[in-house]
Chains A and B, each alone.
Chain A
Amino acid sequence: MSLFSVAGWAVTLFVPIWLLAGIWTVSYPVRLSAAALTVAAFFAIELNDLALIGYPRGLLSEPSIGLVAYFLFLLTPRPSRHQSNRFHYAAFLVGILLYPMALGLGAFDPYALGYHPSSALVVAAAAAAAWWCPGLRLIAVWLTSALLAHTFQIGDSDNLFDYILDPVLFSLAAIRVIRRSFTLVVSIHAKH
């Protein structure tokens, strides 16, 4: 299990527990303890000679840098809703273009592009542009960290897309985009 996998899964488990615990208590020590103990349990407790973390790893593969970056962003004191919304739209757009075709819809496989160095240059250009737009900082951090992680091969995958996006992040983004679109449609109808 690589260091990236350990760190990625630690963040992926920690943040949802931290946020969920916030529903019941405002006490930081309690939330911290709950999240840290959950993470520790997943790595320390074994079931059938396999650490508990092996079960979500078997089912969900590895979290992407995108998911880790997003969860860390949610830990910041006042995560910007605008940054978050734009990030959701971007992740949703990448996923909706990637997954159906990668799973066999049509002859073109966009995932195969993730092995080619030219994709890294395209992502670098997009990240550079995002850095100069203050409203796209989360997207800039996301793309830059994914590109660095892929370049230095800190995970199992040789494909850039596995660092950018994973199905869990795509699902979160899709839920937020759909919910936001629904709210928008309802509010337009209410005005009329």
Chain B
Amino acid sequence: MRQSLSMNRRIYPILGCLLLLLPVAIHSVDLLSVEPSAGFHIQETDAEASGAVFRQQLLDAAGQQSVHAATLANLPGGGIGAWWFGGSREGGKDVEIWFARYERSSGRFSPARSIMSRHQLASDLGRYIRKLGNPAAFLDRDGRLWLFFVSVSIGGWAGSAVNVMTSDDGGINWSPARRLVTSPFFNISTLVRTPPVLMRDGSLALPAYHEFLGKFAEIITLEADGSIRSKQRLTWGRDALQPALVPTARDQAHIFMRYAGPPPKRMLYASTEDGGRSFSKARKLDLPNWDNSVAAATLTGDPHVWLVYNSSEGSRETLSIAISDENPALSRHIHDFTESGSGGEFSYPAIVTDPQGFHHVAWTHERKNISHAVFNDAWLLQLLSEPAQ
């Protein structure tokens, strides 16, 4: 009897430790193969030399009473895709994600069609979904479209989770959506607004943010298969939302963030000089930011950064462009898409540069439409050469 008890005492620890051997072996191999960040992939464009080009249009809202938070991405085979959420009101149960395709030949967008509803997402995930929110789209180098978007099962936007689906045929058909697990607390409070950035090793750096107990920005690094490799906090506290990441060199990138803290209301900025391994402490720029989303990009083949942001104090009525010379922290205002005093809302800009070097900007136009502007470097440089406003 004693012998049997003694055997039991020894056999369980031995069996337990044997069970641990496999995970230890697998994770040891993983640990040896962990490599520091490979740096940012810099998009190359086949820019066409031409004079200044600027065109602007409104997209058809497909009969939706309220549309918001557009995102843009290149489409495989040419063209630009625009996605936004629309329904009776922001946060409504009838809100869906809409998609329209811009053809360069016609200079027009296709009629919008819904590609995701809360019922479809609930079916894909097998979970109750209350509402849908911000989308963020991206075309990877294999021609696969990624669409990240926010959903909420309970509460307000602080209860958000991030979902992702992909398309291998330019946005005609989509994979079932799946949920990214990014928070240990019921997987709530992670949101996206701006598109990911491609890294040199094929992984994606997805800017994200929390707005539950804290309001802070993060970078989530995803493997090429969509699994999460790492998560990195950029800020902490209660004042940074919606980071926009813009790489300017293999090891260098800039981050502009929506400021949600107490006055003075100014845009938040951070940068990395080591390919995203570490980021500078976030600080305020001179540019105003009254709790508004920001979009950022570079000139084609030129690391100068330009921004689309709300320049009005206390409202979202003036949507503007600022551009930097050498230091993105010293960007200066050069243009207004919309005039101040209109009383409307022109907000949530998104930018993508097409392979021909044309910049596309989309934004919320009084919550009734999505506006789209297309222009080139020559137009931006023409504005830059004008006296400061």
Contact = CB atoms under 8 A, between A and B. Distances in A.
Interface of A: 1, 5, 49-51, 53-55, 57-61, 98-99, 102-109, 111-112, 114-118, 120-121, 124, 127-128, 131-132, 134, 137, 140-141, 144, 147-148, 150-151, 156-159, 161-162, 165-167
Contacts of A54: 122, 126-128
B153 interface: yes
Main secondary structure of the interface of A (DSSP, over half): helix
B185 A102 contact: yes
Nearest to B28: A121
13 contacts: A58-B122, A102-B184, A104-B215, A104-B236, A107-B233, A111-B231, A117-B27, A120-B24, A127-B16, A128-B16, A131-B16, A137-B12, A158-B228
Contacts of B28: 117, 121
Contacts of B236: 104, 106-107
B296 to A, nearest CB: 24
A57 B123 CA distance: 12
A53 B125 CA distance: 11
A4 to B, nearest CB: 13
B236 to A, nearest CB: 5
Contacts of B378: none
B34 interface: yes
A103 B214 contact: yes
B228 A159 contact: yes
Nearest to B179: A156
B42 interface: no
Size category of the B interface is: 35 or more
Given A51-B126, A121-B31, A144-B19, A167 B230 contact: no
A112 B233 contact: yes
A115 B26 contact: no
B135 to A, nearest CB: 20
Contacts, number: 146
Interface of B: 9, 12-13, 16-17, 19-20, 22-24, 26-28, 30-31, 34, 119, 122-123, 125-130, 153-154, 178-179, 181, 183-187, 189, 210, 212-216, 218, 227-233, 236-238
Main secondary structure of the interface of B (DSSP, over half): mixed
Nearest to A120: B27
Contacts of B189: 103
B214 A105 contact: yes
A59 B125 CA distance: 13
Given A103-B212, A162-B181, 6 more contacts: A58-B129, A61-B186, A112-B232, A117-B34, A131-B13, A158-B181
Contacts of B26: 151
A115 B228 contact: yes
Contacts of A141: 16
Contacts of A108: 233
A167 B231 CA distance: 20
B17 A128 contact: yes
Given A112-B230, A115-B230, A131 B184 contact: no
Contacts of B231: 109, 111-112, 115
B127 A104 contact: no
B231 to A, nearest CB: 4
B23 A120 contact: yes
A117 B218 CA distance: 20
B213 A115 contact: no
B30 to A, nearest CB: 4
A99 to B, nearest CB: 6
Contacts of A150: 23
Nearest to A108: B233
Contacts of A115: 228-231
A158 B184 CA distance: 11
A58 B187 CA distance: 10
Contact of B31 (A55, A111, A118): A118
B184 A162 contact: yes
A157 B212 contact: no
A82 to B, nearest CB: 16
Of B20, B28, B229, which is in contact with the most chain A CB atoms at under 10 Å from its CB? B20
B279 to A, nearest CB: 11
B128 A57 contact: yes
A57 B181 CA distance: 13
Nearest to A151: B23
B186 A59 contact: yes
A162 B30 CA distance: 19
